[in-house]
Amino acid sequence: MKQHFHAEIFRWGKINTMDSNKISSSNSEISSRPSFMEVDLTRLTSNYKAIQNFVGDSTVMPIVKANAYGHGIVRVSQHLSSLGAKILGVAFVEEALVLRRAGLKIPILVLGGVLGEQIPLYLENDLIITASSIEKLEQIDQIAGKMDIKAKVHLKIDTGMERIGVHYYTAETLLEASLKVKNTFVEGIFSHFANADSADLTNANLQLERFNGVLSFYEKRSLRTPLRHIANSGAVLQLPESQFDIVRPGILMYGVYPSNEVIQSIKVKPVMSWKSKVVYFKVVKPGHPVSYGSIWQSEKMVRVVTIPVGYGDGYFRSMTEKAEVILDGKRYPVVGRICMDQFMVNIDWDSAYNNDEVILVGESKKEKITVEDLANWAGTIPYEILTNINTRVPRVYKE
């Protein structure tokens, strides 16, 4: 039986707040730079609701680490909170502190490892700590006692990632220790899949079996089972039996599937578009190479436009000679090496003018370029594309 997540179990203390507009980009910034990421909050809403409807009674914990997968951690978190999200997940305490200072009071679980000197930060800001070993749990409990604050933790079980967390085959000692702490509330217990986004779910099912084996500790002793969670985006889509009390969608929340092998059992739409403008137009003669290394030149007279985006923005240099953009509803190739701040596009003998819109990711007329396209061109995964779009690219929010 699934346990419902209740926000009222959290007690909030005083926190420092600051104007969120100083943290998240506003639409006025579009005037300072012609290149920007457009974040469609309406699509974020649709994705969140689609995931929540699909998982039923499970609580959706949106993962907003890495600047909300590049979409802007503060504005995205504010929006998800307004939709009724009961808890958020981040990787580091620093990310959680950004949200607290922006005024968010929603429960936040920090999924990564914790250092001893960081524990007071968690406690002072009512953050949920990942307890990944007996030593960490006891340290949290000791510091919480000295500060006269009740700590909240989720126990981390390693079922096959070999990252952080106590091994599933020695987890009983951690669970027994968790029954003895005096200043710590063990609210949850979780693990993480290594291969839930694969077509072959053999390994994922093995991890799920191991996690269930650990959870049997509570049933055998007739104890309250903490909130259970293991399902990431891939598992949400493919392993309904892993959804338990909480699910943790990350990239799926932003409208991108975790792999091209995964079953697309929930229909989501990309939340972000990446746009820029033409800043220069020139005619290039045959035999005149374009950009660093002189690796590309035309065999005929062509028109080339310059776009003020480069690998310094997260438009990967490895996409050189592969990437395309959309200009006036038509796809054109990026030519020459992608520079740190600019790249060039061959429009053959078509027309273009300074200030014309250029789509790096998004749709125009019948053409579309996706994050997956960029990942294929760069030889990487969509996660890396999203999280590497530099913060010097303004985020503009569309509602």
Q: Of residues 146, 169, 267, 292, which has the active-site annotation?
A: 292
Task: Decide: 153 and 184 in contact? Cβ < 8 Å.
Answer: yes
Continuous H helices in 63-111: 65-69, 73-82, 93-101
Continuous H helices in 227-381: 233-238, 371-378
Q: Give catalytic status of residue 267 as yes or no.
A: no
Q: Considering only CA atoms, which of 313, 312, 331 is closest in space to residue 322?
A: 331
Q: Give catalytic status of residue 169 as yes or no.
A: no
Continuous H helices in 179-281: 202-220, 233-238
Rounded distance between C-alpha atoms, residue 254 and residue 87, angstroms: 17
Give the up-direction half-sphere exposure of residue 384: CA atoms within 13 A in the CB hemisphere.
13
Q: What secondary structure, in 3-state letters, does 128-140 show?
A: EEEECCHHHHHHH
3-class DSSP assignment, residue 362: strand
Task: Decide: 338 and 278 in contact? Cβ < 8 Å.
Answer: no
Contacting residues for 281 by C-beta, under 8 A, at least 6 apart = 303, 304, 305, 306, 352, 353, 354
Q: Of residues 65, 152, 156, 277, which has the active-site annotation?
A: 65
Enumerate the active-site residues.
65, 292
